[in-house]
Structures are given as structure tokens and as C-alpha cells.
Structure 1
Amino acid sequence: MNPLRRNRVHIRRNLELITDRNPAETAPERLGLAPDATQTIHSAFVDLYRTGLHPGLQLCIRRRGEILYDRAIGYAAGVAGDDPLHGARREMHRNTPVCLFSASKAITAMLVHKCAEDGLIDLDATVTDTIPEYGQRGKQHTTVRHLLAHQAGIPRIPLPRPDPSLLWDWDRAIATLCAAKPLHGAGEQQAYHAITAGFILGELVQRASGMPLNDYLARHFAEPLGMENFTYGMPRERQHEAARNAYTGGPLPMPLRVLARRVLGADFDRVPAIANSPEFMSAVIPAGNLYATAEEATRFFEMLRAGGVYKGRRLLAPETIARAVAPVSGIRLDRSLMLPVRFSMGMFLGESPFGLYGPHSREAYGHLGFMNIVCWADPSREIAGALINTGKTLAPTALMRFLQLMNTIGRTIPRDAPDAARLDRVA
């Protein structure tokens, strides 16, 4: 049997029966696009679903602040994976909350930048200015900037086989990281911090603001943006609403299996089940468990794209956003991901001629979440987008269709001419 046929979702013949479309989608012609733009994007979106590797998908794209595309397809639970507590089949809807995994880091980073804007945190100050106990075993020179840029030397939890329970024990996680010996000096290397830096950044926000992290998030972003979800974790009484995650596709080959364990701190195929647990869903994990819909994620990134303003209300200063998305260096080989990556203080940055956010996307910024989730803004195209899914896989077919969808979005929505010319000069 072909191992890549394992753990796939049966694809229904009539996908319209399991597609939820926003009736408020704006006609593409009104947004300066070709009449068939929406259908072109939808075809690529459906192609991704037809791989059978994503039980449920959501995609939302805003252009110039208006919703161009906002649809969900598939199932939120009950069609793939080992989920004994929530085995009933549920369709995926546009308002189904989904865990953003590492895309949560972008929101956590902007909370830190908001603290800096308000004078509560100095990004170039050492972490020990706010968390004195962090300065152990050579970490006394680590700055907030180093943490945001994945240059703090603590890319993974410093335990041989970390127990997942550490993720929902905030005090123990902070104490473990404060006592950790860094793998290198601050600023010496770039190595993606999958989970670790999020806890320290969250602790910085809490100590600097005097507020629990979810309360600070609600005050400055979730409530002004009118979010129904957008919290780290979910209340127990609402957890049944969330989409369930599923490991799909065949087993990883040995090199990828080792790399995934090093980055994630657990075997790749175990992470979806961990993420479905009530403990994970109840915890506050700044680097990995913010729950939102695709439409809500695009509200946040549209606010960033619009210079910090949403529906006439200013949430961030333009200077704050410019600082947050400015590259901290050129493209570098990341020592955790073993891929060339360009970071800002909190964001994955786009590239030209091709990058994570499609072709000629050097001005784009956002974040990836567990391989197939991506939330981003691309000022040169005047868009904010979010692709959210529940299938956790490294199957080549899924990755190829994911890249094809991002390429289709980038080619269907052209860059604004002045910005495009400026991008070409930068490139």
C-alpha cells in the first residue's frame, strides 16, 4: 500500500454541500481585479482540499479593507485522526475557531511592540530588566529584540524529552527557561524558537503591564477589533466549538522526523492529539495556541496593513508597525528550520522572486503555523490574508498545493504599480 494514502479524508462529489461562503464578499471588479479573480482563487483553494490531507479549511482575503474571499470547506471534526472525545462529525464553518499554532507568535510579538509603544518595555533593554531571574547561565545580555528575532539562543526546551504538561504549567515553563543554558550567545545565530521565546515574551508583557496576557490582548486588540474568539486557549465551556486537529498522510522519513522533533519538542504525529487535549486548549501558550477564524485573523493583519487603524480607530502607531516588520538582517540559514529565512522582530518576511507569501512578495509579512497555516499582510497588493486548516502533514502533495494556492493568490491580485516599482528597486 502506498504510505502516502494513509490518513486521508474522503472527498465528497459535491463540495458545495460542505462549503460555507460569506455573502458579504465584494465583487472583484470593485476592488480593481479581473472578474474571474474570486473563482480563480476558489479553484486553487478547492484543489488544496481535494488532496484529502486537510479535514477542514478556511481562507479569507481582504483587499483595500474589503472582503474579497471568505469561505470554509470540509469538516471541523469527526473525519480524520484519533479524537475519541469529539468523534461526532461537524462541518467546518467560517465562524469555527481554529488553533493558529505558531501564527500566534505574530500576535504575541505585536503585544510586546504595543508595550514598547506605551513605554512599558524597551526592546533594546535586557530581559533581566523586567525578569531578573532570566539572567542565568550566560543569558544576562539577552535583549527583548533577540527574543523577537529568534536570536536568543533558547530555540528548544532544554530537556531530553520534554513532557507536554510543561506547556500548561506557566510557572514551571518560565522557571525552566530562566534556568536554561543558551545554545549560543545572544545575537550570534538565528535559530527559530518554536515554543520557548513565547513564554518569556508573554511574561514580559504581563510584568510590564500588570495584566494577564489574555486581558492585555482583549483590551488592545480583541475587543477593539470586535473579535468573538482571538484568545490564547479557549474556555472549557466553548472547547466543543473548536476545530479538531488531525495528523494526515504517511509517516515522516527519518531526517524530517528528527528535525520536526527538534523544532516541536515532540514527535510530529503526536502534536495534533496534544493540541486536541482539554489541557492544551485551556492553557495560555503565547507561541502556539491562539484561537481564531480566518476572517478574524485578517482583521488583525488588515489593521497592521492600514498603519494601525481599523474602522477609524487607531490601535497602533504607524512607527510601531514599521519597526515590527523591518528586517533584523538579510536572509539567513535558520539553525532550527535549516532553511533560509528573513525575520523581523516577530514576523516571517516575504521574498522575491518567490517566498512564503507568493511571487514578488518582498514587502509581505506574517507568520506560518504548523506548516500549513499562514496569516499575512502584503501592502504592495493591499491585501491581508489567512489560510487556516486542521490537517497536520508534510506530505509532498499538500505542500505543493499549498504553494500553488499562495502563488495563485499572488498572481491573481497584482501589486500596485508604485509599490511594485519600489519593490523592484529594493530587490
Structure 2
Amino acid sequence: MDVHGTVAEGFEPVRQAFAANFELLGERGAAVAVYRDGRKVVDLWGGTRDVDGAAPWTPGTAQVVRSATKGVAAAALLLLHQRGELDLDAPVGEYWPQYKAAGKERTLVRHLLAHRAGVPVLDRPLTPEEAADPDLGAAAVAAQAPVWEPGTDHGYHAQTYSWLTGELIRRITGRPVGAYIAEEIARPAGAELWLGLPEAEQARVGRVGPVEAPQASGTLRTRPKRAVSEAYADPDSLTRRAFGAITPLPDENDPAYRAAALPASNGIATADGLARFYAALIGEVDGGTRLFTPATVELARAEQSAGPDRVLVVGTRFGLGPMLHGSASPMLSLGSFGHPGRGGSLAFADPESGVAFGYVTNGFRKSVTADPRAQALVRAVRAGLSTLG
């Protein structure tokens, strides 16, 4: 399989790892981009545009990145805080009065960002059509009683993060979340990412679908922990209920779904778009706009939640929105912050090394975090940095 694109001197291991993903790990179509100190040092793509097709992946191919979208949504709220429009220690109900219902009066904005709000599930799941309606989604989470006292524990808000973050942004700015991200994040950063895909961009997005992990031996074989497997198998578990807050699962290749704005799950991006977004959080990119001040970077990655996750079951770490480096989602170093997307994609920034990373794929595996293809690329970036000093 031909790998296209370029790598800067010292980052040759990333090209090798990217090619190996196709040869050994069943990759169908994918791209990876890496920035260092605001300069692109890796820009690679290969395979097919569609998981079930033959047309080649091109430099502008974009894909659904699932929960990697959460990192963008969190950044939007932190940007509002940076501008003095959002108090992280204020009750959510101060901005969104309807949210005070059902025992959520003391939920703080920081609880919502860090998966501590206690509303990862909906007693009545929404259909895909209902989920795409921001009014219905916001009303559902506002009425929902928490399953733990807000602020006392953490658990991944897999789907409800869409309406929690989206409605808070809408209440503060008066703009739909997708428009706010387009105007205040994507455009200033020059990043090819969308929440609510415009009609004009539909043709560049490849078809995604499930892929099975190849049969392999040694370190390539992964076996889920029994407790995790049982949680996903139990229809009454918080795990199943959290991921099932929208049911049935939407068709991610449906243009109507892609045009909706669900900040937890349906962002569309190129690998370069994700990497460039994170590069713009921590510094100037090609002399352009820096989105976060150094103080906001530190705020984003200040640990808010750590330990056993009541939804994902495994141990997770979260800052004020971003997932942090840890065993559940290894990134480049302890100081990295970002977000994976279930089944493949990964994007993050590592301020200490000045690295921003973005990986997208059209083949989704069953893993929620720590996809082996993304991890192979992260290890290769680390190897390249070690040779550069």
C-alpha cells in the first residue's frame, strides 16, 4: 500500500508506523498530521477514501471523528471563560435556569466539563432525529435526575456531553454551537473541522464503518478486561445506558446526521484540521492566531477527575474537558491533553514538546480508547522526538 505525503527530518518513524498500520493492523484509509512549534512536520495519508470503496484517500479527505469532537467543544467553553463570559465555578443554572431541575441545582460548570455532572444517561433515550434537535436534547438533560451527586464522582458522558456543552454555549453566546466553533475556533486557526457539516463540504467526507481487528500474536493481540466486557454486555449498566442515550445508533454516513451538530460525537475533520486546532491552542501556527493563553492551557489540563470511571469502568483522567494522558488513553507524555474518538481517531497537544497530533480513520474498531493504530503513531512521534533532542 502506498503512503503519500511528507515527513520532516527526524520523523521518519511516523511514516514507517503509518505504513505498518495498513500491513499489520487492518487499516483501510487514514491520515495523520503532526505540528511541532507551529510548523507541520508530518502530513501523511493512504488507503481508500471510503471504508467499503476503492477511490483513493486524498489530502482533503475528512471523516467523522466521533468523541474527538469533545475536545473541540470543551475548548469553546474554555475560550468563553478566557474572555470573561463564563465562570467555571458558577452553577450551570445561572446560565441555563431550566437545568436546576431534579437535584442539579448545585452542578457547577466545571463539573459539566469534567464528566462529573452525574447525567451520563437519559431515562428515555432520544431517537437520532430527536437528538439532532438542540431544543429537545437540552430539555432532556435539563429534566434528567443525576445518577450520582454532581461533583462527587466522574463517569464519561458519552452522548449527553452534546447537549450539556452545546446548550451552555448557546445560552451564553446566542449562537448555535456549530456556528460558534466555526467562527471562533476553526476559522481563526485555519482548521478544517466542522460541527454541522455544510452542504458544500459533504463530497469530501469518506464513508466510515466497522472493521475487525486482525488475528495476530504477541503484542498485537488485545483482550478486554472482564469487568469492561461485562459492563458493555449488561443493558442496565451505566456503560450501556450512556452510550445508548441515542437509540438506535445513527447512520454516521447519512448526510442529515453529518449536518447535525452533536458536540459529543459527530464532528467532521481532516487529520490536519485536528492537529492544527491543537497546535493553535498552545501556540501560533504559521504565524497565525493563538487560541489559548498559557493560563488557559494550564487550566485545560489541570486534573479534575481521575480513577475508576463509572461509565468506562477503567481508570480515566480528565482536565476541564480534555482527556489527559493515562493508561486508558495514552498520549505523548504526562502533560498531554486532548481526546480520542471511539474506534480510532485521536487528537491532542503536548505543550512541553510543542507537539500537536491528529489522526483520523474510516475504519472503526471496537475499542473506545487507546486504539492500537493511533498508539503506534504516537510511539513513532515519541521516537522521532528522542532523536531530535
Q: TM-score, normalised by structure 1?
A: 0.79
Superposed, 1:253-402 pairs within 5 Å as 255=230, 256-258=232-234, 261-265=240-244, 271=249, 274-306=251-283, 311-329=287-305, 331-351=306-326, 356-358=329-331, 361-394=333-366, 399-402=371-374
Shift in Å, 1:182: 0.6
Q: Among 85, 93, 96, which residue is 1:131 paired with? A: 96
SS in 2 for 1:204: helix
Percent of residue pairs identical = 28
Q: 1:416 to 1:319 in 2, by over 3 A?
A: farther
Shift in Å, 1:305: 2.4
Q: Which amino acid counterpart does residue 337 of structure 1 have in structure 2?
A: L
Contact 2:158 2:243 in 1 (8 A): yes
Shift in Å, 1:52: 6.1
Shift in Å, 1:76: 1.7
Contact 1:332 1:340 in 2 (8 A): yes
SS in 2 for 1:67: strand
SS in 2 for 1:50: helix
| Higher mean C-alpha deviation, range 258-267 or range 377-386 | 258-267
Q: Which amino acid counterpart does residue 265 of structure 1 have in structure 2?
A: G
User: Which residue in the other structure is 1:202 paired with?
Assistant: 166
Shift in Å, 1:121: 1.2
Matches of 1:172 and 1:91 in 2, distance apart?
Answer: 39
Matches of 1:406 and 1:175 in 2, distance apart?
Answer: 40
User: Which residue in the other structure is 2:219 paired with?
Assistant: none
Q: Among 147, 159, 165, which residue is 1:183 paired with? A: 147
Q: Which amino acid counterpart does residue 64 of structure 2 have in structure 1?
A: C
Shift in Å, 1:237: 4.3
Contact 2:69 2:263 in 1 (8 A): yes
Matches of 2:318 and 2:388 in 1, distance apart?
Answer: 24
Matches of 1:220 and 1:267 in 2, distance apart?
Answer: 28
User: Which residue in the other structure is 2:218 paired with?
Assistant: none
Q: Which amino acid counterpart does residue 322 of structure 2 have in structure 1?
A: M
Matches of 2:270 and 2:358 in 1, distance apart?
Answer: 9
User: Which residue in the other structure is 1:234 paired with?
Assistant: 197
Contact 2:344 2:367 in 1 (8 A): no
SS in 2 for 1:193: coil
Q: 1:283 to 1:204 in 2, by over 3 A?
A: same
Shift in Å, 1:393: 1.3
What's the CA shift string for 1:320-353, capped at 9, x where partnerless?
2221121114x311111111111100111114xx
Shift in Å, 1:395: 7.2
Greater relative contact order (Cα 8 A, min sep 6): structure 1 or 2? 2
Q: 1:312 to 1:94 in 2, by over 3 A?
A: closer
SS in 2 for 1:70: strand
Matches of 2:196 and 2:140 in 1, distance apart?
Answer: 21
Q: TM-score, normalised by structure 2?
A: 0.87
SS in 2 for 1:214: helix
Contact 1:358 1:409 in 2 (8 A): no
Matches of 1:405 and 1:219 in 2, distance apart?
Answer: 31
Contact 2:198 2:259 in 1 (8 A): yes
Matches of 2:242 and 2:14 in 1, distance apart?
Answer: 32
Q: Which amino acid counterpart does residue 244 of structure 2 have in structure 1?
A: G
Q: Among 3, 6, 18, which residue is 1:45 paired with? A: 18
Shift in Å, 1:414: 2.6
Q: Among 135, 142, 151, which residue is 2:107 paired with? A: 142
Gapped regions of structure 1 (runs ≥ 5): 1-14, 81-87, 418-427
Q: Which amino acid counterpart does residue 118 of structure 2 have in structure 1?
A: G
Q: 1:413 to 1:235 in 2, by over 3 A?
A: same
